[in-house]
Structure 1
Amino acid sequence: MQFLTPLAFLGALLAVPIILLYMLRLRRREMLVSSTFLWQQILQDQEANTPWQRLRRNLLLLLQLLILALLVLALARPFITVPSVSAGQTALLLDASASMNATDTTDGRTRFEEARLRALEIVDTLSADSIMTIIRVGTTPEILTPYTGDRERLRGAITAAQPGIGRGDWLTALTLAAEGGRGVEDFSVVIVGDGGLNEGDNLPSISIPGDVRFIPVGISDQNVAITALASRAVPGQAPQLFAQLTNYGATDAEVVFSLQVDDNPVPLVSERYTVPAESNLPIVSTAALTQNFSTLHANLTLSVNSVSQDYLTEDNDAWYVARQTGDRTALLMTEGNLFMEQVLRSQPGLQLFRGDVNRPLPQQPYDLYIFDAYLPPTLPDADMLIVNPPASTDLFTVGTEQTDVRNIEVVPG
């Protein structure tokens, strides 16, 4: 809440003389009486009327102070700022970058959840003759809904939006929004996000034909992350591990860095580090890595005695996949797709075999199975690429859209 005339609060000083009137002794006329019955009451009155005594509960005093407070508040002319857009055409850009998963809002929600609430408030302020489009700014900007004045459609698009795990392509998103406003007399752009832009984004070079408003979400920059992970093989020595830890906050962070090799649940490395504020910490590990490892999984957590916070945990894990030596084998099962076969045979490091769809799958295992317009009676327990499946399986249903599919495993039998 803000005030148009904050100097009006000086009127609250009038409460001082009002209170003093109740604290000072009252002056009364002395009179002679023929009875001593009222002496006790007179003594009580004298005690009560002694100057600077503690105030007693007085309803009239409370009412006078309340009237004064309301009068001062009215003179100060309070107002609140409500996100709104003017009539016309508006492009609303919703930040969906990975940093929007942070939980540093006042209510414990993620930044993206807070951004959705702000966007819904803006939709509610649209006038009857206004139209709006919603653009989700992720790794690839996506138009969630074209320009429309249907509030329910806009609200549905915002409610269904989800944050991503990469950077937001703001150059493309703003260019897309600007192109939609060419030739429009009353055009504006509203950005709801945390203000994190990619390094090198030259946003001022984009000419936007209208006003641009930015509504920020998020209140803290405290975050630690693994920003690099790699391994290098040195001739005659065990592979070396290289990692980089980044502290985006303003205070030093005490962290624990652990490393797991392949599927071994026991960490090969578990060490404590102090990452300076707003700095990177390179790590060169001398852990005894074997020459034939497949994957490395690094994890970063705050130590129990760390005074800093970590509001974004999605960047606390990193994986490194070792480059495989030798060719990988693939089995192509198709009824005659020569174009696909030629493309696969042109891939370096891939040894392609073609099977007969009229016969069972070979017993020999392959690194990858490619099924083109064909499915075997039993799917193999291996990596698969299924193109144009002729029928539904336990993994999917033909004719429906599959969303957020990951870590599918086939259990034989």
Structure 2
Amino acid sequence: MMGLSGLPLGTLLGIFGAAAAAVVVLYILKLRRRAVPVPFSRMWDSVLRDKQATELFSKLRRLLSLALQLLVLALLVLALGDPKPKEDLRAGRHLVLLIDASASMKAVDVAPSRLGVAKAEAEKLVRGLGAADRAIVVQMGSVPLARSSMSGDQGELLGAIAQVQASDTRADLEAGLSFGRDSLRGLPQGELVVIGDGAYGDAESVAALSARVSLEGAVPRFVPVGKSGKNLSITEFSVRRYPLDKSRYEVMLEVTNLNDAPAEVELELSGDGVIVDVTRLKLGPSEKLPRFYQDLAGASRTLTARIKAAPGTDDLPADDVAYALLPERRRARILLVTPGNTYLEAALLLDEYLDVAQVAPGAPFPDGKFDVAIFDGVAAPVTERIGSALYLNPPAAGAPVPLGAPLTDFGFDTWDRKSPVLRFMSMGDIQVAKGFAFKPAPGGGDKVLGASDHGPILVSGSREGHRFVALGFDPRDSDFVLRIGWPLFVLNTINAFIEEDTGYVSSFRTGDVWHVAVPGSLGSVTLHEPGGQKHAVPVSDGRAVFRGELAGFYKLSGGADDAPLGEFAANLSDLEESRIQPHKELTLAGKKASAVSIAAVSLRSDVWIYLLLAVIALSAVEWVTYHRRVTV
């Protein structure tokens, strides 16, 4: 049985009636003949008798021509009604195609890759959608990304599938399911179709994860891809400075064998694009093998590690390469404004990369720009020549933060252990004879780094683009200067200002939100990805904020002339994502996700296409019969 999903039958009959009347009128006008006087003679009697004999056949031929025209019209009008089988007139299904785009989908255990197979499976589902079915294509990486709208247009959906690209991150299954559930809310017959390798952790973690997400009636489906879980990977790669000698560094690298059999790999280290070390490593089953390198010769800025394994032992090339930047060390200019402070001067002597210029309060500053100014008991105005400032016991006039009540016999009752200014420090035992508390304005952006029970005594913030740290007492009025924490505090503060602290980040982890330090007070910068793409990213509190999904070297530029601002590296470094053993089953929200077969999906039945083809065929028949004088 057929039904109409387009214009209703009454409307179609009205259109056909009006159009048919017009066709008949035009046909009658076509048959009209002009009266032409001609000479008459009895010699035409035989011709007229022959014509009368064939007149009935001529009328039949003309009626056949009219019938063909009316049939073409009827087919065109019927196509406007979009006839379909009765079963296709029901409410269609709504599918969310969650295509796994995690790093494990770059595995080549199936040709051309797991992602290639997943996209082919998604294309099969799209080509098999019913006439009333709709689907949306979602790229499921560290965050879900919709590649199309909810549509029944095969061209749009196939184009969206072609745009799906694998990243160097793990897939956030919980976020993907939540996105799919929200996309299906209020739509009938919703289905969540996960197309991937199912490598989202062990069964317990996947069950716990999916249990947190309610599918709200959507039917879970799973299309598995992949067949092997063999892999060797670089799971750690970092560079760190020596805390007491920042001119030296150490490289730490870890190679992991995720196979059940022993394996051999060739580890290749390249510095600035040139191979500097090649080592042959033997690893036992499931073994993690760390390697350490001190001051690699031939490497000055970029460092790349690469492993090469025997064929058939490593199906995932994405975690065979890791990247790092060697710490770049430069001399920092420090302006010290003090009437004389032996403890402060001694702390600055511990770092040979500090170029210190000391002046007395009220004296003119030396020429040139300074990275950091230290004001000891004074609060000179900060100019464009000074990047950041450390205030020790500032006076009320000119202090960056208003002073509060005076304090006696106090100490640090609380402090921010995560602040880079107080890194590796314990402040609880410090005793202070006298000082004062600060009164930072609520909501002003200042941050309390340390406080006594009577108020804040260590505050950080920013004024007109210049960062500062203020200490509410003279260190010489305490036992702070007698502790190892004193030089650490001074050097940590300087390093935090110039972003050269001992916790140097040689590479970021893909899939995380990165906070990359940028110089100056720019509101946004341009990020250059390893593949050449560019993005404008915002800057918050002196750091560019971006969620990266590709491993490799990144560059930052900005300012009026788009000048280079620095570079950094990013790595996969995810042991769980390197476990690429595929799963054939998946449980979502307590339900086993059933398989999707092409046979279970109704074929498209667009009858109007065949009606138009019939119109073309009849028009061709009419053209041939007309020119062969059959219907005229």
Specify which of 282, 290, 293 is matched with residue 282 of structure 1: 290
Whole-angstrom distance in 1 between the partners of 2:275 and 2:114: 34
Where in structure 2 are the equivalents of 1:171-190 lying within 5 Å? 171-190=174-193
User: How do 1:7-406 residues align onto structure 2 when only pairs under 5 Å count?
Assistant: 87-105=92-110, 108-197=111-200, 202-208=209-215, 209-234=217-242, 235=244, 239-263=249-273, 265-267=274-276, 269-285=277-293, 287-289=294-296, 293-302=300-309, 306=310, 308-326=312-330, 348-349=497-498, 352=520, 370-372=558-560, 382=564
Measure, in 1, the Cα distance between the counterparts of 2:158 and 2:222: 19
Q: Distance in 1 between the 2:301 and 2:101 partners?
A: 32
Offset, 1:195: 1.2
CA contact (8 A) 2:268 2:275 kept: no
- Provide the rounded CA distance (Å) in 2 between the counterparts of 1:370 and 1:115: 39
Q: Could you say what secondary structure the match of 2:559 adopts?
A: strand
- Alpha-carbon distance in structure 1 between the residues aligned to 2:160 and 2:298: 49
AA aligned opposite 1:91:
V
Q: Check 1:369–1:281 CA distance in 2 against 1; reply closer, same or farther (3 A cut).
A: closer
Q: List per-residue Cα deviations over 1:239-264 (Å, max 9, x = no partner).
A: 3321111222332221011222334x
User: What is the CA-CA distance between 1:123 and the residue it aligns to?
Assistant: 0.9
Q: Per-residue deviation at 1:227?
A: 1.2
Q: Which amino acid aligns with 2:308?
A: T
**Is the CA contact (8 Å cut-off) linking 2:147 and 2:160 kept in structure 1?**
yes
Looking at structure 2, the residues matched to 324 and 288 of structure 1 have their Cα atoms a distance apart, in angstroms, of 13
For residues 197 and 217 of structure 1, what CA distance do their matches in structure 2 show?
13
- Cα contact 1:251–1:276 (8 A) shared by 2: yes
Unaligned runs of 5+ in 2: 1-90, 334-368, 370-461, 468-495, 499-517, 523-554, 568-632
Superposition TM-score, scaled by structure 2 size: 0.38
Q: Summarize deviations over 1:31-76 as a string: whole Å, max 9, x none.
A: xxxxxxxxxxxxxxxxxxxxxxxxxxxxxxxxxxxxxxxxxxxxxx
**1:368, 1:136 → 2: CA distance?**
27
**Structure 2 CA distance, aligned partners of 1:296 and 1:156?**
38
Q: Which runs of 5+ in 1 are unaligned?
A: 1-85, 330-340, 355-366, 386-413
Partner residue of 2:478? none
1:145 alignment partner, SS class: coil
Is this contact kept in 2: 1:192–1:216, CA < 8 A?
Answer: yes
Structure 1 or 2: more helix by fraction? 2
State the alpha-carbon separation in 1 of the partners of residues 145 and 292 from structure 2. 40
Task: Say if 1:344 and 1:256 are closer, same or farther in 2 by CA, change over 3 A.
Answer: farther
1:141-168: CA deviations, max 9, x gaps? 1001121111221111112322222222
In the TM superposition, what is the alpha-carbon distance from 1:342 to its structure 2 partner? 8.3
- Give the distance between the partners of 1:342 and 1:142, measured in 2 at CA: 39
> SS at the partner of 2:319?
coil
The residue aligned with 1:82 is none
Structure 1 pair 214–342 and aligned structure 2 pair: CA distance change class (3 A)? farther
Give 1:216 shift: 1.0
8 Å contact 2:271–2:298 — kept in the other structure?
Answer: no
Q: Distance in 2 between matches of 1:298 and 1:118?
A: 35
CA apart distance, 1:110: 0.9
Shift of 1:205: 2.0
Contact 1:239 1:290 in 2 (8 A): no
Q: How many residues align?
A: 263
Pair 1:343–1:114, CA change in 2 (3 A): farther
Deviations 1:341-370 (A, max 9, x none): 98975594266499xxxxxxxxxxxx9863
Q: Quick one: structure 1 residues 277 and 143, their matched pair in 2 at CA, closer, same or farther if it must change by over 3 Å? A: same
> Which of the pair has the greater relative contact order for Cα pairs under 8 Å at 6+ separation?
2
> Would the alpha carbon gap of residues 291 and 313 (structure 1) be closer, same or farther in structure 2, given more than 3 Å must change?
closer
Q: Deviations over 1:116-139 (max 9, x none)?
A: 110011112211111111110122
What amino acid is aligned across from residue 249 of structure 1 in structure 2? Answer: N
Note if contact 1:371-1:384 (Cα within 8 Å) is conserved in structure 2. no
8 Å contact kept, 2:147–2:163: no
- Measured in 1, the distance between the counterparts of 2:213 and 2:240 equals 41
Change (3 A) 1:255 1:121: same
- Quickly say closer, same or farther: Cα 1:104–1:342, change in 2 above 3 A: farther
CA distance in 1, matches of 2:521, 2:188: 61
Q: Which moved more, 1:249-258 or 1:317-326?
A: 317-326
Shift of 1:193: 0.7
Cα shift readout 1:249-285 (whole Å, capped 9, x = no counterpart):
332221011222334x132x32111223334222234
Secondary structure of the 2:178 match is helix
Confirm or deny: 8 A CA contact 1:238 1:289 kept in the other structure: no
Q: Is the 8 A contact 1:116 1:158 kept in 2?
A: yes
Checking the alignment, whether the CA contact within 8 Å between 1:245 and 1:280 is kept in structure 2 is: yes
Contact 2:105-2:196 at 8 Å conserved across structures: yes
Distance 1:186 1:293, change over 3 A: same
1:140 deviation in Å?
Answer: 2.3
Q: If you compute each CA radius of gyration, which structure gives the higher value, 1 or 2?
A: 2
Counterpart CA distance in 2 for 1:289 and 1:87 is 63
CA distance in 2: counterparts of 1:257 and 1:353, whole angstroms: 42
